[in-house]
Amino acid sequence: MADSLADREGNAGYKAPRAALSLGDFELVKRLGDGSYSQVVQARHKGSRKSYALKIVDKHLIQRHKMVAYIRNERHILDRLDHPGVVNLCFTFQDATSLYLGQELCPNGELYDQIQRRGRLQLEDTQFYTAEIVEILDYLQQCQVVHRDLKPENLMLDVNGHIKLIDFGSAKSLGDGEASEASPEGEARRSNSSESRRATSLVGTADYVAPETLSNQAITPAYDLWSLGCVVYQMLVGRPPFKDASEYLTFQRIAAADYTLPDDLPPVALDLIKQLLVLEPEKRLGVGLRGLDELREHAFFDSVHWEHIWETAAPAIAPPRNTSRELDEKGLDWEMQSLAAALPVVYHYEPTEEGAVEVQNSYLAGAEEAGSTSLI
């Protein structure tokens, strides 16, 4: 697979190459998740037999809804990140209908799944996962990146049960103005000059949105600390703190910091949550002169060995209630295999003496061969 993973234009600036691959190079094992404009499947490369989480993005939908900038943003931010707590982008490719982002596979699913299966997490497990998230946020701050969509669904668990942060489509790079025009970031900025202005709009998931966004204040790393408070709350209580019947009501509660703390929460957890879910961004724990070191020194983390966190044994994984493994290695999901076997089809109309006739052309090669615009 080495040759197929070379960048198709020989641009050494990409850590994750724009590879000369097609969907036909993979066996699609099972569906891992769905989004508004994409789906994620477990895909096994036929040559190397290596498995990936393959994000398949519908080109038509992202162009129609003006979301191209967000996909490019995710691709270029992930390309420059390198941390044990951030999912690794391995390659990208495209065809006439879809964009494909090949990412490392996290076989233990989402942190959200663990909360759902257990109802709520034990204090020790919550301390471990929170410590890893803090380390990830520290790295993102060093890279001048604000994630803006920190939630249990975007916190995956790798083969050893450690946290991997995914989905950087909503992320904001605070250092965009310094990107070289010859770099991937500079290329994305040039091609997205109009769409990139949308980065100041409301993004993320309603339950975890920071209150400063609702009042159109500047985005800072304090945004992710608010979301961290929401995630800690959800791990210990089993639900987001501001969840309500509609997004509007949820936003009203966020704007007023209107949430309830159960009496049975440990005092150190109560105090940590209170110091993170603060309306004023500059007053949140971890925003002071000493940054996240202030957060690390909170009593909630007294049992954490920060220097060895990524080598420490992770909490046990709660298995699915249905332990059936038919879709694992015994056989490939037939629906996924149908997707892999079917060539993307492009329809056009050709005039004849009798009138316009619909003609279909199938494409499985790259976007250039399909005659469509290269988007990543």
pLDDT in tens, 142-195: 999 999 999 999 999 999 999 999 999 999 999 754 443 334 444 444 444 444
Neighbours of 278 (CB within 10 A): 18
Tokens of 12: 């050494």
Q: Are 202 and 209 in contact (CB under 8 A)?
A: yes
- For the whole model, what pTM was predicted? 0.84
Q: Which two tokens stand for residue 74?
A: 């995710």
Region 111-173+195-308: CATH code: 1.10.510.10
Three-point CA angle 313, 317, 323, nearest 5°: 150
How far apart (Å, rounded) are the C-alpha atoms in residues 127 and 227? 16
> Which residues are the active-site residues?
149
- The half-sphere exposure of 130 on its side-chain side, counting CA atoms within 13 A, is 33
- The pLDDT value recorded for residue 334 is 60
- Per-residue b or e along 101-130, where b marks 16 or more CB atoms closer than 10 Å to that residue's CB: bbbbbbebbbbbbbbeeeebbebebbbbbb
Measured in Å, how far apart are the chain's first and last C-alpha atoms?
Answer: 20
pLDDT in tens, the chain (376 residues): 555 578 888 888 899 999 999 999 999 999 999 888 999 999 999 999 999 999 999 999 999 999 999 999 999 999 999 999 999 999 999 999 999 999 999 999 999 999 999 999 999 999 999 999 999 999 999 999 999 999 999 999 999 999 999 999 999 999 754 443 334 444 444 444 444 333 334 678 999 999 999 999 999 999 999 999 999 999 999 999 999 999 999 999 999 999 999 999 999 999 999 999 999 999 999 999 999 999 999 999 999 999 999 999 999 999 987 655 444 444 555 666 566 555 444 444 455 555 554 444 444 444 444 435 677 8
- Say how far apart CA 138 and CA 269 lie, in whole Å: 20
Domain ranges of the chain: 111-173+195-308
Mean pLDDT of the chain: 85
Q: Which two tokens stand for residue 36?
A: 């508004």
Q: Which of 70, 374, 80, 74 is closest to 197 using CA atoms? A: 70
Q: Is 164 known to sit in a ligand binding site?
A: no
